[in-house]
Chains A and B, each alone.
Chain A
Amino acid sequence: MGAGHAHAMYVHQHSPVHHLAPEVKIVAALAFTGIVVATPRESLTAFGAYALIIAVLALAAKIPPLWLAKRGLIEFPFVATALLLPFLTSGPRTDFLGMSLAVDGIWAGWNILVKGTLGVLIALILAATTPARDLLLGLDRLRTPQAITQIALFMLRYLEVLADEARRMRVARLSRLDDPRFLWQIKGFAAGLGALFLRAFERGERVFLAMRSRGYTGRLPAALHAGSVATARQWAGGAIVPIAALFALILMGYQ
């Protein structure tokens, strides 16, 4: 487990982006998102520049564009919201293809669409280039409370185990002639969920006792922190992304 299991979102590659220390990537992604959100919605060129930055990043990280597009679909509910807004907004209206759309609403929809998409893309690049364990390690180095990072670490470690257990229970149920239909399957599903909780809780107790007997003191093992702490050079390299975005914002955002 020390090698870090790659999560479903990780794209295994060797690239400068992959090799950057996780804390640098987290800070850069956060700063980039902040700059995107702070950009006035009318400055189209700035958004174009951000998209360019993301494209360069994805290229440097050797992430397939199709993968990005597919994972980006998670944003879909908000696309629907964005498309609805022009119809639901007050203010002056304009005619487009015979539909009466509110100008303000079009801008608001565009705002959600572009900022949401850019945010999802940068988060995807972060997730694709960083194993989950490293992400949490990065959060830990950024002084996130130990309790939070540890809970997240345990969660990720046992998530697959529990999901698998749930899948097995479902197969067992089906093979005993349960026939899930509409609302009545809630009973079987939820009773299984109860069993899953019991198993999870009891597993937690066992895991704690096992760790305690091996000298767990409530801190992450120091070995996790050895090596790979960000150097000044890495910080400088990671800073390129938000600084480029900041330049774009200053040059094109507030014309």
Chain B
Amino acid sequence: MHISNGIIDGPVSLFYGAIAMGLLALCLYRARQDLSDRLAPMAGLVAAFIFAAQMINFPVLPGVSGHLLGGALAATLVGPWVGALCVSVVLLVQALIFADGGVSALGLNIANMALLGTAVGYLVVVGLMKLLPRTAFGVGAAVFGGSVVSVVLASQGFVLQYFLGGDVDLIVGYGQISATMAGVHSLIGIGEGAIAAITVTAVARVRPDLVYALHGRRLATEATEPAGSATFRGIKPLIAVGALITLAIAGGLSYFASSAPDGLDATTLKGCTVDTDGNITGGSCVAQRAQDHELGSGFLADYGIKGLDSSTGLAGVIGVALTFAIGLIIFWIIRDRRRADRRRADRRRADRHRPGQRPGEPVHATINAGRLNQGLNQGPNQAPSQAPNQGPSQAPSHPDPWANVAVPRRRTSGSDAPRGA
């Protein structure tokens, strides 16, 4: 997500640097009003919190490591001014001390992630909070929406920067780049949104006065349900809602983004005469080179399905679904491998504790026994007399000192659920 040196040219970087400096000065002024002379320690700790939240490794989908940006989260918790300031400081330190993000691209990064992301995220959160009920779920949904929009718009900020100061013309038009970026980042935004939503509801339950966007008001009490269960209940609808929002963005926005020449496309068409079908008939312009490329006849090329009119939205939806499916498949593969590793480690440990056996041949015996037993365990009418604690990876047929020890990692769903024993 951090732009490095050399992607955007010098003048545009300088221009964005100047904008970022001006807006940061405004943030500083307003942040002082929020925190007065407590500003430095408080904002410093919040910045450290954001940095730490970004540092914690969170493997949701392997390969898709959209780490937390924290713009909307910070804005909700400490307000847009302090939030933008904190994220900017995080970016500054990352560029200077951790070499993450180019020094010359600092203005670009601050403009996207700290200023644009935070401001838009905060506006959406506050707007949604006005519409939604002031319950934990309402607040969570507002923060979720704000985070998704903030991440997607930050990516659009990069597209704009690339349009202004990018080096080369790509075969795909800027409308399509923007649609692709929106699709990918709405996926990242869902992860970010879910985390931000649960974080904010967790804080709002305990110290609603510390959630800036609540303006000192408390949550509506949910007297009927115990605390904690609501968060748990909240996550599945949240993911479902997130998936729907993504599809809506991909389907709806990308339709508008590329079915007609939008603002960016229109600029690249400048200097050409265009007929009613959008074909370039004469003149010379940037977009001319982008036409007639070999990939242009691909199935999803131009983000419209061949043979269907105005199907750009549909192609966007398919794209998101495909991306998600690929991610899921990768996840499944890695999860299975990890499970196999764990099983192997468990077995090795079990072998080590069995007296009088050499480590060579008995391993196979254990595997076979385990497989066999696993098959038996998963049968529909499992004997209730079996030990309730046994997972599919264990072989109860031989004396295993670890069999009844609750190892945290071994708890698996499915056949090992306690059944009234």
Interface residues of A (CB under 8 A from B): 7, 9, 26, 29-30, 33-34, 36-38, 41, 71-72, 74-75, 78, 81, 85, 88-91, 102, 104-105, 107-108, 111-116, 118-120, 122-124, 126-127, 132, 135, 139, 145-148, 150-159, 161-163, 166, 174-175, 177-179, 182-184, 186-187, 189-191, 193-198, 200-201, 203-205, 207-208, 211, 217-218
Contacts and interface: CB of A to CB of B under 8 A. Distances in A.
Contacts of B203: 194, 197-198
Contacts of A175: 408
B194 A37 contact: no
6 contacts: A78-B7, A113-B6, A119-B104, A153-B44, A189-B195, A191-B202
Interface in B21-37: 24-25, 28, 31-32, 37
A151 B77 contact: no
B51 interface: yes
Nearest to A71: B99
B402 interface: no
Given A9-B97, A187-B235, A218-B40, A151 B406 contact: no
A191 B235 contact: no
Interface string B7-51: 101100100000000001100100110000111111111111101
B75 to A, nearest CB: 13
A146 B85 CA distance: 13
Contact of A182 (B41, B60, B196): B60
A193 B54 CA distance: 11
Given A119-B102, A155-B90, A190 B409 contact: no
B215 interface: no
A52 B237 CA distance: 57
B202 A119 contact: no
Contacts of A148: 24, 28, 85, 88-89, 92
Interface stretch (B122-130, B148-156, B165-173, B274-282): B165-173
A74 B210 contact: no
Nearest to B287: A90
Contact of A177 (B40, B88, B331, B406): B406
B97 A127 contact: yes
A80 to B, nearest CB: 12
A29 B103 contact: yes
A179 B231 CA distance: 17
Contacts, number: 267
Closest 4 CB pairs of A and B: A154-B44, A115-B6, A194-B202, A119-B5
Contacts of B85: 147-148, 151
A116 B5 contact: yes
A88 B172 contact: yes
A119 B146 CA distance: 34
Contacts of A198: 203, 206-207, 210
Nearest to B92: A152
Among the interface residues A88, A153, A161, which one has the most CB atoms of the partner chain B within 10 A?
A: A88
B93 A152 contact: yes
Given A148-B89, A151-B85, A198-B206, 6 more contacts: A88-B172, A108-B167, A119-B5, A151-B44, A153-B44, A159-B51
Interface in B70-84: 77
B52 interface: yes
B6 A196 contact: no
Contact of B5 (A105, A118, A132, A183): A118
A100 to B, nearest CB: 8
Contacts of B310: none
Contacts of B51: 155, 159, 162
A91 B169 contact: yes
B395 interface: no
B405 interface: no
B58 interface: yes
B184 to A, nearest CB: 13
A33 B49 contact: no
B104 A197 contact: no
Given A114-B6, A119-B6, A88 B103 contact: no
B194 A186 contact: yes
Contacts of B198: 186-187, 190-191, 193-194
Contacts of A162: 45, 48-49, 51-52
B314 interface: no
B113 to A, nearest CB: 15
Nearest to B58: A189
B5 A194 contact: no
Contacts of B169: 89-91, 104
B44 A123 contact: no
A152 B7 contact: no
Contacts of B7: 78, 81, 112, 116
Nearest to A211: B41
Interface in B173-226: 191, 194-203, 206-207, 210
Contacts of B52: 159, 162-163, 166, 196
Nearest to A186: B194
Contact of B167 (A36, A111, A151, A166): A111
Nearest to B36: A218
B308 interface: no
Nearest to B201: A194
B131 interface: no
Given A127-B97, A177-B406, A204-B45, A182 B168 contact: no
Contacts of B24: 148
Contacts of B206: 194, 198
Nearest to A150: B40
Contact of A74 (B98, B239, B290): B98
